[in-house]
Amino acid sequence: MAPPRGGGSDAAAGEAIAAPVDQQQRPVSSILIIIAMQTEATPLVNKFQLKEDLDSVFPKGAPWVRYYGTYKDLQINLVWPGKDSTLGVDCVGTVSAALVAYAAVQALKPDLIINAGTAGGFKAKGAGVGDVYLISGVAFHDRRIPIPVFDLYGVGSRKPCSTPNVAKDLNLKVGKLSTGDSLDMSPQDEASITANNAVVKDMEGAAVAYVAEMLQVPAIFIKAVTDIVDGDKPTAEEFLQNLAAVTAALDASVTQVIDYINGKCVCEL
Amino acid sequence: MAPPRGGGSDAAAGEAIAAPVDQQQRPVSSILIIIAMQTEATPLVNKFQLKEDLDSVFPKGAPWVRYYGTYKDLQINLVWPGKDSTLGVDCVGTVSAALVAYAAVQALKPDLIINAGTAGGFKAKGAGVGDVYLISGVAFHDRRIPIPVFDLYGVGSRKPCSTPNVAKDLNLKVGKLSTGDSLDMSPQDEASITANNAVVKDMEGAAVAYVAEMLQVPAIFIKAVTDIVDGDKPTAEEFLQNLAAVTAALDASVTQVIDYINGKCVCEL
């Protein structure tokens, strides 16, 4: 069966993920940063001098790790899904990201989620290694359900919290993100990514957006390009080569964004 | 990049999802049934005369629905992920299944999970429409991460709670399940399903198994075949044609299994 084209991501996109009105009109006081890999998390943990929560807010058995601290006027929690208890690798992908996002929001009641991480970029859309994008729309590219309306559910297009001032004042690149559970890209994935009009692809964003919308927490997405998907180098090799260096660029942009948020309401972003 | 073959699912399979020893040695008293679609859930809700929980144990915004009641010596909770609040279709797939499994286990502390539902079957492996399988192993087929060890994490092979007596005494078909977020099957999915040695494919099982293992709740999987993936008919059409009829077979088998469990410890299954 051919992969369905669910009407295009723009047609399917819901409302932007918005906070309740009362939250929008007071300065953000608590930020939840969700990051998939330890290598991506460590520079930010160091930058904001966060401490590890050794008496976990998460249930026994969950490998999820929380770091916390205060930075300027902001309470910052940074969570990553930890290492797989059997295999020892970072718990990447949509299921882990959704679970840790859900559990962290329930435990910590943040005003704002920032999902930060590395991503593959499409040079045909203007992406280069080391570029950092503020994401204007998210969708899935590997949930093909060729039944009317279920097709749109599978694509799961969502808009992040509206942040026109962040993009303009910090001069960040802006583009769409497509999420799937594979590091590589099959022809079916590629067709869906094209339909999603994405400049970057990751393995978590759209799942975090799903949870954020469900629990009504505004969410923004910052993705740094480690590898060029439509380039000549194998994705896995390029990803591993650039991971450490690109996290420095990610670190710098996340810090810029958090400095910008400090003292502002969500509606001022 | 070619899809990786992560060393085969059997090599990657962890230990069976087991309950703590004290739970294994007393009769099961509380069962959590997790079902993805309303059409699949309704016959069991009626069969066990379950009531809907109108004062939800789940957070505001989550569409998840719980039914509960007592059947013989068993407390039964049945949860399904509900309808998408924007699109109105059942919240199928791994992210929703993982979230509702996590939230339900946290809220209800069941002794045993039964993930029941419909699935596509492979006639080359002996499956026919209406067959009901007790699942002997689960894995994902759409999480390709071609980096050593991450590849095994992506495949995510797990063994359900060991139930040799259920299979023998109830004369159920036994086989492996492969899970992915698409109703259709790409060539890459097909290669992974073959590597997973699966007789049936669904959209939730391996995600439920992941959560069950994390939270140390024994889980069993019962899947009824609605459509033949390697047959002549389009999957979506065959699935929709057979969904109602096959849920009757699923209903009968789940009832048989629950009757069998009543009064027994997990270690007697």
Cβ contact, residue pair B140, A102, below 8 Å: no
Share of chain A above pLDDT 90, in %: 83
Instruction: Measure the CA angle with vertex A218, ends A138 and B81; round to 5°.
Output: 70
ipTM of this complex: 0.91
Assess contact for B234 and B127: CB atoms under 8 A: no
Label residue B4 by pLDDT band (50, 70, 90): very low
The interaxial angle of helices B94-108 and A205-214, nearest 10 deg, is 50
- Measured distance CA(B132)–CA(B249) in Å, rounded: 7
Backbone angles phi, psi at B241, to 5 degrees: -60, -40
Crossing angle of the two packed helices A205-214 and A94-108, in degrees rounded to 10 = 30
Between CA B99 and CA B109, with CA B105 as vertex, the angle to 5 degrees is 170
Helix, strand, or coil here: B217? Answer: coil
3 state DSSP class of B70:
strand
Alpha helices in chain A (DSSP H): 9-12, 21-24, 38-47, 94-108, 150-155, 164-169, 187-195, 205-214, 235-261
- Rounded alpha-carbon distances, angstroms, from residue B43 to A170, A267, B249: 56, 47, 10
pLDDT band at A21 (very low <50, low <70, confident <90, very high): low
Per-residue pLDDT reduced to its tens digit, A57-100:
999 999 999 999 999 999 999 999 999 999 999 999 999 999 99
What predicted TM-score, i.e. pTM, was given to this entire model? Answer: 0.91
Q: Find how far residue B137's CA is from the centre of its chain.
A: 11
Q: Would you call B149 an interface residue with chain A, using a CB distance cutoff of 8 Å?
A: yes
> Do residues B118 and B250 touch, judged by C-beta distance below 8 A?
yes
Sign of the torsion formed by the C-alpha atoms of A229, A234, A235 and A238: negative
Question: Which one of B87, B106, B211 has the shortest CB-CB distance to A149?
Answer: B87
Q: Terminal CA-to-CA distance of chain B, rounded, Å?
A: 44
If contacts are CB pairs under 8 Å, which of residues 168-207 in chain A contact chain B? 180-188, 207
Q: Is the pLDDT reported for residue B81 higher than 60?
A: yes
Q: Is B251 a residue of the active site? A: no
The per-residue pLDDT for range A202-249, each reduced to its tens digit, is: 999 999 999 999 999 999 999 999 999 999 888 888 888 888 889 999
For residue A48, what are its two tokens?
Answer: 């904001």
| Contact call for residues A238 and A182 (beta carbons, < 8 A) | no
A238 belongs to the catalytic site: no
Number of C-beta neighbours around residue A26 at 10 A: 11
Distances (CA, A) of A60 to A55, A56, A88, B106, B108: 10, 8, 17, 11, 16
pLDDT on residue B1? 32
- Region of A59 please: left (phi>0), alpha (psi -120 to 50) or beta: beta
Residues in B closer than 8 angstroms to A1, CB to CB, are: 184-185, 234-236
pLDDT digits 0-9 by tens, B88-109: 999 999 999 999 999 999 999 9
- Partners of A91 on chain B (C-beta within 8 Å) are 153
Q: Which of B111, B227, B238, B251 is catalytic?
A: B227
User: In terms of CA atoms, which chain B residue is nearest residue A99?
Assistant: B99
pLDDT of residue A269: 94
Distance from CA of B131 to the nearest CA of A (A): 23
Taking an 8 Å cut-off on Cβ atoms, the answer to whether A89 and B140 are in contact is no
Query: Across all residues in chain B, what is the average pLDDT?
Result: 91
What residues in B contact A182, CB-CB < 8 Å? 3, 142-145, 154
| A–B interface: beta-carbon pairs under 8 A | 147
B166 sits in which H/E element = helix B164-169
The verdict on a CB contact (< 8 Å) between A99 and B102 is yes
Cβ distance of B147 and A240 shorter than 8 Å: yes
Q: Note the pLDDT of residue B259.
A: 97
Give the separation between CA A267 and CA B74, rounded to whole angstroms: 50
Positive or negative, the CA dihedral B172, B173, B175, B180 is negative
| Cβ(B93)–Cβ(A143) below 8 Å | yes
B68 φ, ψ (degrees, to nearest 5): -150, 160
State the distance between the two ends of chain A, measured CA to CA, in whole angstroms.
43
Q: pLDDT, tens digit, for every residue of A127-149? A: 999 999 999 999 999 999 999 99
Closest by CA to A138, choosing from A171, A113, A108, is A113
Within the 152-171 window of chain B, which residues sit less than 8 Å (CB to CB) from chain A?
A: 152-154
Q: Closest to B182 (Cβ–Cβ): which among A85, A144, A214?
A: A144
Cβ atoms of A209 and A160 within 8 Å: the answer is yes
**Cβ–Cβ under 8 Å, residues A78 and A41:** yes
- The secondary structure of chain B in percent helix, strand, coil, rounded to multiples of 5, reads 35, 25, 40
Asked if B143 is an interface residue toward chain A (Cβ–Cβ < 8 A), one would say yes
Residues 6+ apart with CB under 8 A from B110: B30, B31, B32, B77, B104, B217
Greatest Cα pair distance, chain A, in angstroms, is: 54
- Residues B227-246 have pLDDT tens digits of 999 998 888 888 888 888 89
Q: Do A87 and B211 make contact, defined as CB atoms within 8 angstroms?
A: no
Distance CA B182, CA B235 (A): 11
pLDDT of A12 > 50? The answer is no
B190-214 confidence digits (pLDDT tens):
999 999 999 999 999 999 999 999 9
Q: B220 with B257: CB under 8 angstroms?
A: yes
Which amino acid is located at B5 in the chain?
R
